[in-house]
Structure 1
Amino acid sequence: MNSPWYIGDPSPSKDESLVYAHGTIMVISWMLLASTGILFARYGRHLRISGRRKLLGDTIWFQLHRFILCMVTVATLLGFFLILIKEKGQWVSVAKDGGHIFAHSVLGAIIVCCALLQAWLALFRCNTDSSFRQIFNWLHRSMGYLAFFLSIPTIFLIVTESKVLPMQQDGLIAILSLWSAWIVIVVILFEIVEYRDRLNSKMGIYRVAQNELMDQTTSLRRKMDHNDGANIRSLNEVKLFLFLLHIIVAISLTIPLVVIIWRQN
């Protein structure tokens, strides 16, 4: 096999830096950055940091989501161009490179297209009161989820190809398996917190209605408001903890994966 993908081929003069750089950029982009940006958009809309909901004139979740996902788009394009340069502009084939690598390239191309479309949609995002806003939200959310969930099998396909990453393959598979499991776990944890948040919101609406119908004392109202505020702060702290925990776990799994990639050959 003479394909640039087969970095395990014995060739003294072979420089695989572009292949390693491609893998490194894509792993960091989709395991660390993309997952964090998507979680902020999904679960961080009411997030407060030091009692503040806004950062530089806009909500914290939106600023973080936009900044992180912009980095993902740029990094994804960079990683795509690196492997394109390595392949000298030629697309891989099943006959030459094998089914895993061909499937990896197809899924990767879909992810790149989704990233570009996301950037285009963001540039032409309609106003919140526009009649097309629901269409934008649906497209934006669908393509984001599609790209992220495709990134997991895309990485799996390449690490399970022994001719591409021949060294410490069991470690690579173990890391990705832990990563996949963690994504499921952190989403479940966030959903539980969101459920509690929705319950508190409903209780708050019910209490407001009660206040309007009943002649309650000022002290009782203050006590209820204090309890509501304490619950909101508690849930906010739990969310901050989960975001921090996710970033730590993502970094902890990304670093050894990158190290193994660069230790091939």
Structure 2
Amino acid sequence: MIEISRRTLALSMALIATIQMTLWTPINSLPQGAPETVCDTMLPFHGGGIPPSSSLPPFRIETSSLVIGQGQTMRVDITGVPPGLSFGGFMVQARNRNSPHQIIGQFNPSSDGRAKLMNCEDSVGNSATHTNPGPKQSVSLEWQSPVDFLGEVVFNATVAQAYDSFWVGIPSSPVQVVRRETAGAYPQTTRLPYVTPPPRGVYAPQTEVPTVRESQEDPFYSECGRSKTCFGFPNGCIEDKSCKSLSAITVRGDVYEFEMKSGRDGAAYIALGLSEDAKMGEDLVTECVPQNGRVNLYSSYTSGAPNYGSSRANVPQNGARLLQSSVIDGVIYCKVQRDVVTQVRGKRFDLLNNKYHLLLAAGTALKDNSVGYHDIGRLPSGSPINLAVVQALTGSSTLLLRLHGAFMVIAWIGTTSLGILLARYFKQTWVGKQTCGKDQWFVWHRVCMVTTWSLTVAAFIIIFVEIGEWSGERNPHAILGTITTIICFIQPIGALFRPAPNSKNRPIFNWAHWLGGNLAHILSIVTIFFAVKLSKAELPEWMDWVLVAFVVVHVIVHLIYSIAGCFSDRQQAQQANAFQMSDMGHHGMRNGHRMDHKLDAPYASFRKGLLAAYTVILILFVVALVLIVVLAPIEETVDQLSGN
């Protein structure tokens, strides 16, 4: 009983003390500053749940500059509006504008002793708070930016004017963190216009404030060819500083640093591979992948035929270290240091003693354990290099790729279109003229189709020599092109075994040959349309309109010939009936009828004239499309030719 009474007494005293502490309302802020339990919300627990004020804060957060270099320091001031207004407690920290939950940088110890540092998210000194609740009209802090971050930060503060009067999430204007060597090129400023924060906001950066943009001259290119080897795509873009994606290698002794930067095309990753043969398979790949507001570094290994792709499985992730990284306006940047020797799946990558091709790639998709297809672009270097030797580096030749495209355009836009037209509408033209005992239409039809067959087979072989693998793009171009090539290959073989004109199987052959030819032609045009979407082809989107114009012209010409054919058949039938009636009973009927068949069908001159015009237009289309294919990417080529 005595023990129970003692325990009851102790609980009663503790309860009374708790009630007294709850009812006691102090005048000032927490005397020892904000606890680290509020690092995320920045919300003080005053009076058991007093809400923050939603009125316009009478305080502002000002920075000594809008731009700061990596690893540099700047002043951050908390002042009243108007100046001289006092406050008691405060808490301030810098947040990543693109990922507001990420606390950036660290504060230096206060020289006047009015602020102390807080360790939030296991990082030392990344937040600051007051050391005493006494009134103060301003506080100046020194903040240092991280050396591995590029982007915008916003300083957010909680300021308490009194115990029951405080504001949470007061933001500063955005501060741009840039590379240290370029910080001096930006305009510097201090006191900025006041920005009204959202009610009861917590670490909410204001998106209405204009951001500071990088200068037009990208500093990435500044040391290319002097202290680092640069490589980017499209090929030759380093000289005019117009790369969609680029990389650089800097070697100092046994320190190997790799830099990568994507373009503004929505890249989900940028990657650089080291290859012995400039083709995918058994390559060491360095990936920079933005995830959850920060860039993550991965190492992966590519596999060759038949399962092309890359994977991080069983690849050591400790052979590389991320030195710097950022994601600004969708542009990925990372700087990575790699070990001199890396052992992956039994293969040794020795950067000091071996030469490697560079494989630069970027894409818009990710897989579970690797990057996705390089639909933005991929370019292998033209030759293997010693990474320690600074040099100008270009991509591998695209001659075979351009020849493939040019051959297919000539074959299926040019010779096939003309050959089908001759076979369909000119069997009753040039009737009295033959070449090597064959009708004119047949001779020219065969010339066109043999040319198509030869160019198609050559283009099919060329593309496999160039790529060395089946296309990994999510584009039906490859499969449609293969089907077209198979049909094209079979067509002349079938023609060699065509039945005699009076054979009962001749109609079957005629229909099969007609169907195969037209099906291949239609598939080929569709395949060329899909080629415009291939990242490796680098064709302009407006090429679709050139193809559409060709299709329209081709269809119109077929319609005109079909209408003219109907009139020709009707007139020919009328002439035949009139001839039979006038020569009935005469012995010359048979001979006269034979002579009539040696004449061209009606409207022959019209057909020949339209054929000449169509041929000229067709040549113009073919020349234009071939130039687009050969000069791709044509926008960059035009700029170079014009001197821009």
Structure 1 residues 156 and 249: CA distance shift in structure 2, 3 A: same
Equivalent position of 1:54 in the other structure: 434
What is the one-letter code of the residue matched to 1:240? K
Residues 74-131 of structure 1: CA distance to partner in whole angstroms, max 9, x if unpaired? 111000000011122x222xxx322x2xx11111111111111111111112211122
* Structure 2 alignment gaps of length 5 or more: 1-360, 364-373, 381-393, 587-595, 634-644
Runs of 4+ in 1 over 3 A off after TM superposition: 5-11, 164-168, 212-215, 231-234
Equivalent position of 1:248 in the other structure: 616
Equivalent position of 2:423 in the other structure: 41
Structure 1 residues 2 and 24: CA distance shift in structure 2, 3 A: farther
Name which of 85, 101, 125 aligns with 2:498.
Answer: 125
Equivalent position of 2:411 in the other structure: 29
Structure 1 residues 6 and 124: CA distance shift in structure 2, 3 A: farther
Q: Distance in 2 between matches of 1:178 and 1:35?
A: 14
Equivalent position of 1:221 in the other structure: none
Spell out the pairing of 1:148-163 with structure 2 (5 A cutoff): 148-161=521-534, 163=535
What is the one-letter code of the residue matched to 1:18? L
Contact 2:491–2:516 under 8 Å retained in 1? yes
Name which of 189, 195, 199 aligns with 2:566.
Answer: 195
Q: Distance in 2 between matches of 1:7 and 1:64?
A: 43
Spell out the pairing of 1:1-265 with structure 2 (5 A cutoff): 1=361, 9=378, 12-48=394-430, 52-88=432-468, 90-92=469-471, 96-98=472-474, 100=475, 103-161=476-534, 163-166=535-538, 168-170=540-542, 172-212=543-583, 235-265=603-633
Cα drift, residue 193 of structure 1: 1.3
Cα drift, residue 247 of structure 1: 1.2
Cα drift, residue 142 of structure 1: 0.6
Q: Distance in 1 between matches of 2:400 and 2:497?
A: 34
What is the one-letter code of the residue matched to 2:518? Y
Give the number of the structure whose residues are more often helix, by fraction: 1
Cα drift, residue 210 of structure 1: 2.5
Structure 1 residues 202 and 30: CA distance shift in structure 2, 3 A: same
Cα drift, residue 132 of structure 1: 1.5
Partner SS for 1:97:
coil
Q: Distance in 2 between matches of 1:198 and 1:205?
A: 10
What is the one-letter code of the residue matched to 2:457? L
Query: Taking every aligned residue pair, what percent have the same amino acid on both sides?
Result: 26
What is the one-letter code of the residue matched to 2:622? T
Residues 197-252 of structure 1: CA distance to partner in whole angstroms, max 9, x if unpaired? 1011110122023314699xxxxxxxxxxxx99x9676111111121112111111
Structure 1 residues 141 and 152: CA distance shift in structure 2, 3 A: same
Cα drift, residue 2 of structure 1: 8.3
What is the one-letter code of the residue matched to 1:158? A
Equivalent position of 1:223 in the other structure: none
Partner SS for 1:169:
coil
What is the one-letter code of the residue matched to 2:609? F
Cα drift, residue 9 of structure 1: 3.8
Contact 1:158–1:164 under 8 Å retained in 2? no
What is the one-letter code of the residue matched to 2:548? S
Structure 1 residues 259 and 130: CA distance shift in structure 2, 3 A: same
Q: CA RMSD in A?
A: 2.7
Partner SS for 2:603:
helix
Contact 1:160–1:173 under 8 Å retained in 2? no
Q: Distance in 2 between matches of 1:75 and 1:31?
A: 12
Structure with higher Rg: it is 2
Q: Distance in 1 between matches of 2:608 and 2:545?
A: 28
Structure 1 residues 143 and 80: CA distance shift in structure 2, 3 A: same
Give the number of the structure whose residues are more often strand, by fraction: 2
Cα drift, residue 41 of structure 1: 0.4
Contact 1:8–1:264 under 8 Å retained in 2? no
**Greater displacement, 146-155 / 241-250:** 241-250
Q: Distance in 2 between matches of 1:7 and 1:76?
A: 27
Q: Distance in 1 between matches of 2:502 and 2:539?
A: 54
Cα drift, residue 167 of structure 1: 5.0
What is the one-letter code of the residue matched to 2:421? L
* Structure 1 alignment gaps of length 5 or more: 216-227
Contact 1:34–1:72 under 8 Å retained in 2? yes
What is the one-letter code of the residue matched to 1:43? Y
Partner SS for 2:395:
coil
Number of aligned residue pairs: give it: 241
